[in-house]
Amino acid sequence: MTPGAQVAAAIDILTAIETENRPADNASADYFRSRRYIGAKDRAQIAGHVYAVSRHRAGLDWWLTRSAIVAGSRSRVLAGLVLLEGWRPDAILACCDGDRYRPAPLDDAEKRLVRRLAGHTLQHPRMSRAAASDLPEWLEPHLDRVFGETLEREMAALNVPAPTDLRVNLLKTDREGARRALAAEHVEATPTRWSLQGLRLRQSLPLGNLAAFKDGLVEVQDESSQIAALLADARPGMRVVDFCAGAGGKTLALAAGMANRGKLVACEVSQRRLERATRRLRRAGAHNVERRVLSGERDKWVKLHAGSFDRVIVDVPCLGTGTWRRNPDAKWRVHPEDLIKLTRRQQQILRSAARLVRPGGRLIYATCSLLQEEDEAQAEAFVAADPDYSLLPVARVWPQTVGGAAPGGGQYLRLTPAQHDTDGFFVAIFERQRCPSEF
């Protein structure tokens, strides 16, 4: 493909993301699936344009507003080519000539835009803090309450593409065995900093082609999510529930920790996601997992099994602010009303899942969020509302489950890209103190 055709493809994908409110990875996958003639190198170039705009949309929009240009997929790509990728105006004019597969020629306003931006970088001293940090204006005060003076550093770390983390499947091998298997396929992997089950790849590659992946020796899972599963302390012979199992990442980790002994129930409201988990469980050799589709958090199954599980992990739906390294477009698809709805839903899910825990058992609450409203505030509200539960400090659980001293050493676990080189993640652990209430 010509550079112009790559730019045109990026504009088309960004348009689909914006007009259809779709995740970037889904929109990109559909675009490439219908155009199988596009090779791997061209796909990488196109994705580079798409994700550059997605990561830095706030800053690009600031420049477009300053230049009296309406912000849209085409104008953002043009501004991004200059400010983010260093293209010269004549190169942009040459690739946007209206020929087949290439963008239409620039109009006079667009020509003035690329010439005006030439020689500038994205950052400008007159930008608002939110624009300079590439985040929605409405979220800036929420994140400022968490990070204060370190906000810019944390947001900069969230704008750097994430590495690929793998979790070693202890049902089939150990970390060194997995590392050797990857090395045999010319893939270099290094141990993760915190998780003793993790390996990190610095290069991006199609994992589905690797024998180590197809044989179930490794699974893709960010180190932060691995740590959450370790903190659940699911042991062989226990009865465990993954209440919001999704596609099964934590379920797989829990099954490995249980060595296929005991009962593990993966609950999900989405049949499609649970089917994806089924394929992953089969590849991993996890045999002690029951898959259950729930109608909602108040499903009758919850009442029937109240007070009968040793561990219940609840990774609730959230705004996903901690995953922006991987999903930068997600920050532009959330709104204040989403936070209100989600925090209400999180508390409902947490209280329902709590009914499953036996006396002396533990409830693990997790989010991939950086917001206090979805994290500490939810934990505090839950303990205040349910006298059966008390907070179990993560610092006390960490040495026995992860090893060493917990980062931060506090009541909760809060991981961030800037401080820990992981996705943003939060974990709170509760212990049931008394006999179950009447259900």
Model pLDDT for residues 424-439, shown as the tens digit of each residue? 999 999 999 865 444 4
Rg (CA), the chain: 23
Indicate if the pLDDT at residue 194 is higher than 80: yes
Averaged pLDDT for residues 396-401: 95
Instruction: Give the integer Cα–Cα distance in Å for 154 and 38.
Output: 36
| Spatial contact of 112 and 68, defined as CB atoms under 8 Å apart | no
The gap between the terminal CA atoms of the chain, to the nearest Å, is 63
Averaged pLDDT for residues 6-13: 96
| Spatial contact of 375 and 367, defined as CB atoms under 8 Å apart | yes
Residues facing residue 364 across a β-bridge:
313, 429
Question: 97-101, 227-231, 249-253, 263-267 — which is least confidently predicted?
Answer: 97-101
| Spatial contact of 96 and 106, defined as CB atoms under 8 Å apart | yes
Averaged pLDDT for residues 243-272: 93
The string of pLDDT tens digits covering residues 349-361 is 999 999 999 999 9
- Structural domains present in the chain: 3-127 (1.10.940), 164-220 (3.30.70.1170), 223-432 (3.40.50.150)
Long-range contacts of 268-275 (CB under 8 A, 24+ apart): 268/244, 268/292, 268/293, 268/294, 269/293, 269/294, 269/295, 269/296, 273/245, 273/246, 273/247, 274/245, 274/248
* The amino acid at 111: K
Indicate if the pLDDT at residue 165 is higher than 80: yes
* The amino acid at 47: A
Indicate if the pLDDT at residue 233 is higher than 80: yes
Task: Say what percent of the chain tops pLDDT 90.
Answer: 87
Question: 21-35, 87-101, 185-199, 424-438 — which is least confidently predicted?
Answer: 424-438
* The amino acid at 381: A
Indicate if the pLDDT at residue 409 is higher than 80: no
Contacts of 342 (CB under 8 A, 6+ apart): 317, 318, 319, 374
SS3 312: strand
Residues taking part in catalysis: 368
Q: What is the pLDDT of residue 438?
A: 40
SS3 283: helix
pLDDT band (50, 70, 90) for residue 104: very high
Going by the DSSP 8-state scheme, the letter that residue 325 receives in this structure is: T
Q: What is the pLDDT of residue 439?
A: 42
Q: What is the pLDDT of residue 263?
A: 96
Indicate if the pLDDT at residue 25 is higher than 50: yes
Instruction: Quote the tokens at residue 369.
Output: 């969020």
Averaged pLDDT for residues 254-272: 93
Q: What is the pLDDT of residue 435?
A: 58
Residues facing residue 428 across a β-bridge:
365
SS3 146: helix
Instruction: Give the integer Cα–Cα distance in Å for 300 and 14.
Output: 43
The string of pLDDT tens digits covering residues 109-142 is 999 999 999 999 999 999 999 999 999 999 999 9
Edge-to-edge strands of the sheet including 164-168?
190-191, 198-201, 164-168, 218-220
Q: What is the pLDDT of residue 206?
A: 84
Q: What is the pLDDT of residue 277?
A: 85
Mean pLDDT score across all residues of the chain: 94
Question: 37-41, 111-115, 200-204 — which is least confidently predicted?
Answer: 200-204
Phi-psi region of 68 (alpha: psi -120 to 50; beta: other; left: phi over 0): left
Instruction: Give the integer Cα–Cα distance in Å for 112 and 379.
Output: 52
| DSSP H or E stretch at residue 390 | strand 389-392
Q: What is the pLDDT of residue 270?
A: 87
Using CA atoms, how far residue 276 sits from 28, 268, 397, in Å, is: 20, 11, 31
Averaged pLDDT for residues 77-84: 97
Q: What is the pLDDT of residue 8?
A: 96
Helices 376-385, 336-354: axis angle to 10 degrees equals 40
